[in-house]
């Protein structure tokens, strides 16, 4: 059985060591984040969570989408990432929360949508963790699983091959989402982005 505290420590150490220069390593991703947020179809007044928000790069476009009457929450497990988000001025665009996406301190069905960037590869128990994201979203609400480059480009950047058990492969992701309370509505895996959208089943 996996030790959840060990998983948390590994994630915090990995991202904590990279938080300070994270944005400078990927300076051109802003437009890709904005385009992915646009596909969520958010409206003024909506309530949205950026799960695993990191340095908060999605928070400005999320705020722009829901307006000042909406609610934007950025949750991350790594304190250094949230500190970097504040340092970049993104704390003005959303409420930053030190929290584990496996046990969110949010009411059930309290959100209209969840946005995630690069999160799924770091989930220790993907089906259970995606079910927790479903818990906090109203029926009919949306989930975006995003990465600013596609699977093949990311694998090449990391010097590895894509394996058949990759959770982001459509054949794996569709049933994973279905077992977690979501129904995939679109899937794009291109060099310039990865984006899977899903709707919360009623």
Q: What pLDDT sits at residue 26?
A: 56
Q: What pLDDT sits at residue 158?
A: 83
Strands 111-117, 137-147: parallel, antiparallel or unpaired by DSSP?
Answer: parallel
Q: What pLDDT sits at residue 16?
A: 47
Q: Could you list the residue range(s) of the whole structural domain that residue 42 is in? A: 4-200
Angle ∠(85,102,63) on CA atoms, nearest 5: 35
- Grouping H, G, I as helix, E, B as strand and the rest as coil, residue 33 is helix
What DSSP string describes 2-25?
Answer: --HHHHHHHHHHHHHHHTTTHHHH
Number of structural domains in the chain = 1
Q: What pLDDT sits at residue 114?
A: 98
Could you say which residues of the chain have pLDDT below 70? 1-28
| Domain CATH number, residue 168 | 3.40.50.150
For 131-187, what is each residue's pLDDT tens digit? 999 999 999 999 999 999 889 888 888 888 888 889 999 999 999 999 999 999 999
Structure token digits, residue 49? 């969570």
Q: What pLDDT sits at residue 122?
A: 82
Return the residue matching tokens 């996406």.
101
Q: What pLDDT sits at residue 153?
A: 86
Q: CA 142, CA 139: separation in Å to the nearest integer?
A: 9
Nearest to 11 by CA among 105, 84, 80, 94: 80
Q: What pLDDT sits at residue 161?
A: 86
Nearest to 148 by CA among 90, 188, 95: 188
Q: CA 170, CA 188: separation in Å to the nearest integer?
A: 9
């Amino acid at each position: 059985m996996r030790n959840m505290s060990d998983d948390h420590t590994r994630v915090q150490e990995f991202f904590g060591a990279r938080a300070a220069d994270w944005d400078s390593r990927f300076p051109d991703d802003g437009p890709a984040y904005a385009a992915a947020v646009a596909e969520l179809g958010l409206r003024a007044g909506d309530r949205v969570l950026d799960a695993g928000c990191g340095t908060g790069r999605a928070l400005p476009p999320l705020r722009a989408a829901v307006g000042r009457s909406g609610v934007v929450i950025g949750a991350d497990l790594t304190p250094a990432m949230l500190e970097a988000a504040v340092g970049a001025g993104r704390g003005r665009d959303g409420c930053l929360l030190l929290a584990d996406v496996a046990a969110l301190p949010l009411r059930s069905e309290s959100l209209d949508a969840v946005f995630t960037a690069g999160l799924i590869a770091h989930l220790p128990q993907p089906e259970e963790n995606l079910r927790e994201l479903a818990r906090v979203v109203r029926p009919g609400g949306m989930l975006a699983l995003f990465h600013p480059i596609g699977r093949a480009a990311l694998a090449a950047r990391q010097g590895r091959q894509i394996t058949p058990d990759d959770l982001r492969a459509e054949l794996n992701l569709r049933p994973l989402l279905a077992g977690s309370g979501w129904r995939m509505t679109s899937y794009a895996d291109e060099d310039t982005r990865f984006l899977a959208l899903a709707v919360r089943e009623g």
